[in-house]
């Protein structure tokens, strides 16, 4: 069979990389359509995936609007030529490519606030898979699995941390360090949201550095580290999960990496304007499991980060908690491959009739 996968961000590369390799190993033809955004292309190359780049986008809110027409032109041309039997993705690109080519589409979704993405993609999807924590009902084609999208690549069945990453980072075997991640908030689903302001970023780095070595990964490249007690995280992005697994604490105003840290057993602190009463289900659940802290007040962020960074016992405590929890979660890669190779596995994947498609479009319009 022939499969197409959309990898619009670095996280999407990780999501699908093991499934792509397994399908190729079993003799199937696979095409990965990637977008040059952040380190997406570097990861596709590093993992040796059969990819083509359909376009690029920068970390600002207007770049996507400018590039969208050329993205769709390239995608639709390439999909028609490749003629896949099934398309996997996470939003409109995959859904619309399937609609035009009359190809079944499987979407893996995990963010409730991206209502616009759901509105434009749901009518054209044959199956929508989400974590069990997902707080919205997407209709009769919605399947919840016992895990997160990150369990496709951080489940113990497919991932084992590599402690030699410390050599790449230049830290000693027993040297505690923290990773701090600052989001650019440049995606369309980030409109109206914010993270740490510049003054808070500086204070957080300075306070943490009294207790641990601090590495900073700054998506927007807004922080000048020249006069700050921190180092840039500048090793290959494919080693990021190994670094996260070795860190004593992770602090961020972003999303995906917080879930990754939690599933690796690293104490994680998340603070941005998403935090609050209507927060996303996965972060609420991970906090309930004792694996992350969602904090809206900066003073609480600093106090908690310092407390975690100065406690050498916390790493084992968190890892034990993580191990107990992850045992209950599925290896999502197995599920992706099962759906790919037997499209009736979940009883959802089929090309809807025109009546079904029109009904979905009407329902989506009402809910929007």
Q: How confident is the model at residue 326 (pLDDT cuts 50, 70, 90)?
A: very high
Which burial class, exposed, middle or buried, applies to 135 when counting CB atoms under 10 A from its CB (0-12, 13-18, 19+)?
middle
- β-strand partners of 106: 88, 127
Q: How confident is the model at residue 64 (pLDDT cuts 50, 70, 90)?
A: confident
Mean pLDDT of 324-342: 95
pLDDT at 208 over 70: yes
- State the pLDDT at residue 184: 65
| Sheet containing 2-7: order of strands | 51-56, 29-36, 2-7, 86-89, 105-108, 127-131, 142-145
Q: How many CA atoms lie within 13 A of 4 on its CB side?
A: 30
Residues of the chain above pLDDT 70, percent: 88
Tell me which H or E stretch contains 356: helix 354-367
- State the pLDDT at residue 364: 40
- State the pLDDT at residue 119: 80
Mean pLDDT of 169-180: 97
Distances (CA, A) of 184 to 136, 179, 217, 228, 254: 26, 16, 11, 20, 9
pLDDT tens-digit series, residues 233-258: 999 999 999 999 999 999 998 889 99
pLDDT at 154 over 80: yes
- State the pLDDT at residue 348: 67
Can you tell me the distance from the alpha carbon of 88 to that of 220, in angstroms, rounded to the nearest whole number? 29
- Reference 301, options 252, 257, 266, 254; nearest CA is 252
- State the pLDDT at residue 367: 36
pLDDT at 10 over 50: yes
- State the pLDDT at residue 307: 98
For the record, the structure tokens of 290 come out as: 């004792």
Tell me which H or E stretch contains 320: helix 314-326
CB-CB contact of 149 with 15 (8 Å): yes
pLDDT at 71 over 50: yes
pLDDT at 214 over 60: yes
Q: What is the pTM of this model?
A: 0.89
Mean pLDDT of 50-57: 95
- State the pLDDT at residue 341: 92
- Average pLDDT of the chain is 89
pLDDT at 59 over 90: no
CA of residue 185 relative to chain centroid, distance: 15
Pairing, β 249-252 against β 105-108 = unpaired
pLDDT at 361 over 70: no
Mean pLDDT of 284-294: 97
Candidate from 24-38, 293-307, 331-345 with smallest mean pLDDT? 331-345
Q: Residue 319: left if φ>0, alpha if ψ -120 to 50, beta else—which one?
A: alpha
- State the pLDDT at residue 362: 45
Q: What is the DSSP string of 236-288?
A: -GGGHHHHHHH-SEEEESSSHHHHHHHHHT--EEE-STT-STT--HHHHHHHH
CB-CB contact of 54 with 34 (8 Å): yes
């Amino acid at each position: 069979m022939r499969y197409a996968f959309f990898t619009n961000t670095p996280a999407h590369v990780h999501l699908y990389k093991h499934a792509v390799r397994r399908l190729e190993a079993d003799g199937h033809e696979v095409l990965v359509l990637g977008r040059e955004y952040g380190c997406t292309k570097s990861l596709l190359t590093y993992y040796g995936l059969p990819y083509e780049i359909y376009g690029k986008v920068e970390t600002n809110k207007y770049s996507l609007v400018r590039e969208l027409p050329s993205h769709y032109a390239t995608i639709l041309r390439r999909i028609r030529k490749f003629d896949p039997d099934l398309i996997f993705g996470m939003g409109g690109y995959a859904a619309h490519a399937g609609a035009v080519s009359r190809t079944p589409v499987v979407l893996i979704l995990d963010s409730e606030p991206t209502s616009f993405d759901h509105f434009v993609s749901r009518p054209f999807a044959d199956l929508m898979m989400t974590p069990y924590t997902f707080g919205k009902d997407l209709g009769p084609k919605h399947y919840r699995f016992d895990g997160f999208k990150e369990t496709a690549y951080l489940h113990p069945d497919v991932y084992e941390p590599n402690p030699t990453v410390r050599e790449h980072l230049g830290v000693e075997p027993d040297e505690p360090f923290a990773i701090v991640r600052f989001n650019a908030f440049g995606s369309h689903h980030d409109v109206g949201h914010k993270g740490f302001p510049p003054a808070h970023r500086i204070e957080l780095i300075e306070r943490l550095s009294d207790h641990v070595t601090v590495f900073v990964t700054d998506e927007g490249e807004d922080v000048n580290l020249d006069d700050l007690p921190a180092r840039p995280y500048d090793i290959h992005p494919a080693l990021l999960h190994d670094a996260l697994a070795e860190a004593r604490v992770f602090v961020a105003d972003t999303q995906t990496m917080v879930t990754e840290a939690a599933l690796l057993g690293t104490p994680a602190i998340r603070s941005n304007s998403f935090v609050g009463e209507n927060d996303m289900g996965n972060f609420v659940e991970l906090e309930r499991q004792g694996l992350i802290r969602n904090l809206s007040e900066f003073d609480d962020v600093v106090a908690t980060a310092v407390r975690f960074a100065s406690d050498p016992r916390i790493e084992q405590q968190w890892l034990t908690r993580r191990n107990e929890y992850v045992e209950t979660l599925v290896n999502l890669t197995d599920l992706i491959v099962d759906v790919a190779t037997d499209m009736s596995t979940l009883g959802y994947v089929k090309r809807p009739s025109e009546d079904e498609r029109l009904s979905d479009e009407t329902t989506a319009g009402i809910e929007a």
